[in-house]
C-alpha cells in the first residue's frame, strides 16, 4: 500500500453509492458526475438501490476491465460511517488494484483487511480529509498568475458550487482556469486539493499558497472558499485562506433569506456590503489590488416573482453583478472579472 497524504486521484472512477436511499447523501457522487463526467467510468450500486446518478452500473471487475483506476466512496452518510455491508466490495476493489478514495471521517488505514489487500495489489488508500504533511508557513510572496476566491456571509452558501460554475464559465469563454478545492467534496470533484480546515492553524495560509502555485500570467485559479470572516467558529480558516490565496478578485457567496449564522443562534448575518468590505480590508495585506467582482446568491428560498427584483436591488446597492449561478450562470461575473 502506498499511503498518500497529498490528494491526487487517478481517473477513471468507479463511484460507489451502494444501497444509499436518499440522493442527498450521495451528493459527493452526484457532484463528481455533474462536474467531471468525463472522469467517471460508472457507478457501483447494490441490488434495489433507488438512487441513480445516470452513469453505467458496473461491478468492480467490470470497472477494472474498463480501465477504472479508483473506487470513490460517493456518499456522506449520517455519522460518517461506511455501512458494514460495503467493506467486502471495497476490499475486492483494493485487491483488484483500484485506489480507494474516501472523504469521510473514518480512516481507511484503520481497516486491516483493506490495508492488506492494497499492500498486495499496490493500490493507494486515499483519505481526502488528511492534510499534507510538512506544510510551509505562509510567506506572503506574490505568485504569478491570477486568482479568484469565493468568500461567504456564512458556511454552506454555495461557495463550492459558485467556484465550479465560475471555473466552467471561464473555460467556456476560452480563459485558462483551474478549480482549486479546499474541502473534501470539492477535492473529490477536482481530483486534488487540500482540506484546509484540517490544517494546523500555523500553516493555513501556507497551505493556501501551496494550493495555487505560480502559474501563467493569464491563468486563473478559482479557489473554493471556506466559512466566513463573520463565523464565530470558523473565521480563522477563512482568514488564512484569504491571506494565502492572495486573490486578485473575490466573489461574495450568500443565501438569500438567511438572517443568522446557520446553527449559531444569535449571530446575525453580516450585510453584503459589510462582508465585502471586511474581506477586502483583510485581503489587501497580501494583494493590495484585491477587488470584489460579483455576488453569487442561492435564491432558492425566494418566491419566483421576487427573485429578479431582489438581485437587481442588491446589484444597485453594491454596484456589482449579482447572480444566482443556477439561474443566470456566472457570465456577468466573468465579464466583470476580465474587465479590469
Nearer to a copy of itself by C-beta: 39 or 246? 246
Closest approach of a copy of itself to the CB of residue 231, in Å: 9
Q: Of 124 and 159, which CB lies nearer to a copy of itself in the complex structure?
A: 159
Minimum CB separation from a copy of itself for residue 286, in Å?
5
CB of 131 to a copy of itself, least distance (A): 9
Nearer to a copy of itself, 90 or 196 (CB): 196
* Nearest approach, Cβ of residue 260 and a copy of itself (Å): 11
Q: Which is nearer to a copy of itself, 129 or 307 (CB)?
A: 129
Distance of alpha carbon 296 from alpha carbon 180, whole angstroms: 18
- Rounded CA-CA distance 103/130 in Å is 9
Which residues contact residue 160 at a Cβ distance below 8 angstroms, ignoring those fewer than 6 apart?
150, 181, 183, 185, 186, 224
Tell me whether residue 70 or residue 226 sits nearer to a copy of itself (CB atom).
226
d(CA 218, CA 228): 28
Smallest gap from Cβ 127 to a copy of itself, in A, equals 15
What count of other Cβ atoms lies within 10 Å of the Cβ of residue 52?
12
Q: Which is nearer to a copy of itself, 18 or 195 (CB)?
A: 195
Contacts of 299 (CB under 8 A, 6+ apart): 256, 307, 310, 311, 324, 327
Q: Give 195-199's long-range contacts (Cβ < 8 A, gap of 24+).
A: 195/7, 195/128, 195/129, 195/130, 195/131, 196/131, 196/226, 196/237, 196/240, 196/241, 197/226, 197/227, 197/234, 197/237, 198/129, 198/130, 198/131, 199/131, 199/135, 199/240
Residues 6+ apart with CB under 8 A from 171: 177
C-beta of 78: minimal distance to a copy of itself in Å?
A: 18
Q: Which is nearer to a copy of itself, 177 or 287 (CB)?
A: 287
| Sites of contact with a copy of itself (CB under 8 A) | 137-140, 196-202, 204-206, 229-230, 232-237, 239-240, 243, 264, 266-267, 278, 281-282, 285-286
**C-alpha triplet 59, 62, 66: angle, nearest 5°:** 135
Query: How near is the Cβ of 237 to a copy of itself at its closest, in Å?
Result: 5
Amino acid at each position: 500500500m502506498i499511503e498518500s497524504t497529498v490528494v491526487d486521484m487517478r481517473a477513471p472512477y468507479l463511484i460507489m453509492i451502494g444501497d444509499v436511499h436518499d440522493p442527498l447523501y450521495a451528493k459527493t457522487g452526484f457532484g463528481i458526475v455533474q462536474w467531471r463526467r468525463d472522469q467517471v467510468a460508472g457507478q457501483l450500486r447494490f441490488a434495489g438501490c433507488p438512487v441513480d446518478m445516470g452513469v453505467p452500473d458496473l461491478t468492480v471487475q467490470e470497472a477494472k476491465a474498463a480501465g477504472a483506476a479508483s473506487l470513490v466512496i460517493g456518499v456522506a452518510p449520517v455519522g460518517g460511517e461506511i455501512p458494514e455491508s460495503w467493506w467486502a466490495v471495497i476490499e475486492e476493489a483494493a485487491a483488484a488494484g483500484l485506489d480507494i478514495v474516501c472523504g469521510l471521517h473514518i480512516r481507511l488505514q484503520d481497516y486491516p483487511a483493506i490495508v492488506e489487500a492494497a499492500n498486495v495489489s499496490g493500490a493507494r488508500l486515499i483519505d481526502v480529509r488528511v492534510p499534507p504533511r510538512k506544510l510551509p508557513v505562509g510567506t506572503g510572496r506574490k505568485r504569478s498568475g491570477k486568482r479568484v476566491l469565493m468568500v461567504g456571509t456564512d458556511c454552506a452558501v454555495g461557495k463550492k458550487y459558485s467556484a465550479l460554475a465560475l471555473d466552467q464559465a471561464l473555460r467556456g469563454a476560452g480563459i485558462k482556469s483551474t478549480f482549486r478545492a479546499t474541502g473534501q467534496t470539492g477535492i473529490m470533484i477536482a481530483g486534488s486539493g487540500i482540506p484546509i480546515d484540517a490544517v494546523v492553524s500555523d500553516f493555513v495560509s501556507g497551505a493556501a499558497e501551496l494550493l495555487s502555485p505560480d502559474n501563467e500570467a493569464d491563468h486563473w485559479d478559482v479557489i473554493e472558499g471556506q466559512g466566513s470572516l463573520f463565523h464565530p467558529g470558523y473565521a480563522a480558516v477563512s482568514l488564512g485562506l484569504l491571506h494565502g490565496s492572495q486573490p486578485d478578485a473575490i466573489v461574495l457567496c450568500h443565501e438569500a433569506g438567511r438572517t443568522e449564522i446557520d446553527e449559531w443562534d444569535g449571530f446575525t448575518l453580516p450585510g453584503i456590503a459589510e462582508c465585502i468590505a471586511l474581506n477586502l480590508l483583510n485581503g489587501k495585506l497580501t494583494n493590495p489590488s484585491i477587488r470584489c467582482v460579483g455576488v453569487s446568491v442561492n435564491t432558492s428560498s425566494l418566491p419566483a416573482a421576487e427573485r429578479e427584483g431582489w438581485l437587481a436591488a442588491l446589484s444597485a446597492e453594491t454596484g456589482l453583478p449579482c447572480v444566482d449561478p443556477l439561474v443566470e450562470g456566472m457570465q456577468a461575473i466573468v465579464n466583470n472579472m476580465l474587465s479590469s
